[in-house]
Amino acid sequence: MSFIVMTGATAGLGAHAVQRLARPGTQVIAGARGGGAPPAGCQVLPLDLASLESVRGFACAVRSQVDGAGIDVLVLNAGAQFSRDDRRSADGFETTFAVNHLAHYLLARLLLSAMADTGRIVLTTSDTHDPSVIPFGPKRLDVGALAHPPRRGSGLRAYAASKLCNLLTARSLSALDEVKDRGISVIAFNPGLTGGTGLLRGQTRVRRALAPAVLPLVGALLGRSHPQFHVGTPERAGEILAELALGTAVLPPGRVYASLVNAELTFPDPSELARDDAVRDLLWRESAAMVGLPA
């Protein structure tokens, strides 16, 4: 029996990925808030990423479920996007930062020692982390200001910054001696602009209403000159997420970032900030302090 632990399996591209991950001989443990129908073939354990206590409880429940057998794949795919950055998590952090980054950072750290040797960790990031792709991508990282914004700001900026945090966390994890010694691979996956998912749920009513018309228009106008603006499907993004998780799609040696561009998997450099080791280490340290773990 192999074990896959996943967040974000209940909707969007993750729901398509999980259809390929839940196979005979594999137990998929999905962390979810509940409410909707549980993904077929999965065991669902309660998890609200907007609460660090819930993350700790989930990690504990996963450990007792796998009972020392080793987690083969950890897929950290859940994500949320809001119109503004004025929501707060149960622990008082800005919610986009808390859900997309801090909760997944804590989960990865709590489950790392329960990973099987040669296992895989996949974090879903986004090319919005890169200001050379999207103008609102972060040009600097102020972790304190992301966690506690000093003034009300844009939800899209908070989202893009949280996705930079996912990429930096993937780079930090892959640099750990424990990860290298045990042959665990770490991947930051950008599914690219993907239509038809629930990601815009937290956006304003106007943006939600316009998206089905605007997204294809953006794809048609910009997709040829800027392939990153090609609008992909959740089916294709889920398929590639599953391939990366199962190890049937493999990154070139030494690479961490895999990006779906125009329906094809590519391995570009992430943004300049994402490649900065000082920024990477700063995020690791400050996140550790926020969740009460040693750096």
Ligand X SMILES: NC(=O)c1ccc[n+]([C@@H]2O[C@H](COP(=O)([O-])OP(=O)(O)OC[C@H]3O[C@@H](n4cnc5c(N)ncnc54)[C@H](OP(=O)(O)O)[C@@H]3O)[C@@H](O)[C@H]2O)c1
Which residues form the catalytic set? 159
| Cβ closest to ligand X, residue 13 vs residue 114 | 13
Closest separation in Å from C-beta 44 to ligand X? 10
| Cβ closest to ligand X, residue 70 vs residue 223 | 223
Per-residue DSSP letters for the chain? -EEEEEES-SSHHHHHHHHHH--TTEEEEEEE--SSPPPTTEEEEE--TT-HHHHHHHHHHHHHHHTTS-EEEEEE-----BSBS--B-TTSSBHHIIIIIIHHHHHHHHHGGGEEEEEEEEEE--GGG-TTTSTTS-SS--HHHHHS-SS--BHHHHHHHHHHHHHHHHHHHHH-HHHHHTT-EEEEEE--SBTTSSGGGBS-HHHHHHHHHHHHHHHHHHTTT-GGG--B-HHHHHHHHHHHHHTSS-PPTT--EEEEETTEEE-----TGGG-HHHHHHHHHHHHHHHT---
| Cβ closest to ligand X, residue 81 vs residue 185 | 81
| Cβ closest to ligand X, residue 37 vs residue 295 | 37
| Cβ closest to ligand X, residue 82 vs residue 284 | 82
Closest separation in Å from C-beta 185 to ligand X? 19
- Are the C-beta atoms of residues 258 and 189 closer than 8 Å to each other? yes
Cα–Cα distance, 65 to 74 (Å, whole number): 14
Closest separation in Å from C-beta 146 to ligand X? 15
**Residue 110 C-beta-side C-alpha neighbours within 13 Å:** 23
Closest separation in Å from C-beta 236 to ligand X? 12
Closest separation in Å from C-beta 183 to ligand X? 26
Instruction: By CB under 6 A, name the binding residues for ligand X.
Output: 7-8, 10-14, 32-33, 36, 47-50, 77-80, 99, 124, 126, 190-191, 193-194, 197-199, 201
